[in-house]
Each structure stands twice: as structure tokens, then as C-alpha cells.
Amino acid sequence: MAVPSVGDDRGWLSVVEAGQTVPFPIRRVFYMHGMTAERGGHAHRDTDQLVVCVSGSLRLDLTDGRDRMSVRLADPAQGLFIPAMVFIDIRDIAPGAVCLVLASTHYDMSRSIRSYEAFLEAVAQP
């Protein structure tokens, strides 16, 4: 999804607003930087997220348990909406990359699924 951006001779300003750009109320904002290894390896039971690589690049490998997709983020004016119950792996992280995440819930580790096998079991349940 495009992050609305306005540019002039001074540079760019990109804006993300709850209820406007992001289809959920923002309860948490965090960013990852200085990453030296792959990240992710989990799914959130009830958290929607908007992920933006604000500097550098990285690849998100995603699955809902049936379909898979890989998305390369390398443009700070592009974000990826990730709904709840999507398993996320972050790979191919460029040195110096900074990844911003806006989340619909406060962090609660008990609401995360930390293994792919447990995720597959969870999505198989009606």
C-alpha cells in the first residue's frame, strides 16, 4: 500500500494516520534497526500490522497456512498491511535497514504463535 507522501526540493514527508492510511487504531509503534540476523518467525493471533522499511531494504516471507508470498520492502513510501494470523519471516535484511511497524494491539507475547508447526495447527482449527 502506498504511504501518502509529499515532496519538494527539501525532500519527502510521508504520513501514516490511524483510520485514514491505516485501517486500524494504532496501539503500538516500534522499529527494528541494527539487525544482524533474520527476524520474525511468528504470527499474531489478533494483531494487524503495517510494516514500512523506512531505510534500506528487507524481504517479508508471509503465509496464511495455505498461500505464500514474498514482498521486498525498499521504499519508505510503501508499506505492507499484514492482518492477524499471518506467519511472518523477515529475511535478506540490508545492512543499516530500519523497519517501522504500526500495530493494532499492545504487545502480549501470549497472543503470539512462535513456531510454524503451532501456527499450522492453529489455522487448521475451525
42 bridge partner residues: 88
User: What pLDDT sits at residue 1?
Assistant: 87
Residue 126: per-residue pLDDT: 74
Residue reference for cell 535484511: 93
- One-letter-per-residue 3-state SS of the chain: CECCEEEECCEEEECCCECCCECCCCCEEEEEECCCCCEEEEEECCCCEEEEEEECCEEEEEECCCCEEEEEECCCCEEEEECCCCEEEEECCCCCCEEEEEECCCCCHHHEECCHHHHHHHHHCC
Q: Is 33 a catalytic residue?
A: no
**Looking at residue 112, what is its pLDDT?**
96
pLDDT for 121 = 96
- Report the predicted TM-score, pTM, of the whole model to 2 decimal places: 0.93
Cell numbers 518467525 correspond to: 41
- pLDDT for res 106: 97
Digitized pLDDT (tens) for each residue of the chain, 126 residues in all: 899 999 999 999 999 998 888 989 999 999 999 999 999 999 999 999 999 999 999 999 999 999 999 999 999 999 999 999 999 999 999 999 999 999 999 999 999 999 999 999 999 987
28: closest CA among 49, 14, 58? Answer: 49
pLDDT of res. 111: 94
Catalytic residue (one of 33, 42, 44, 106): 42
Query: How many other CB atoms are found less than 10 A from the CB of residue 37?
Result: 7
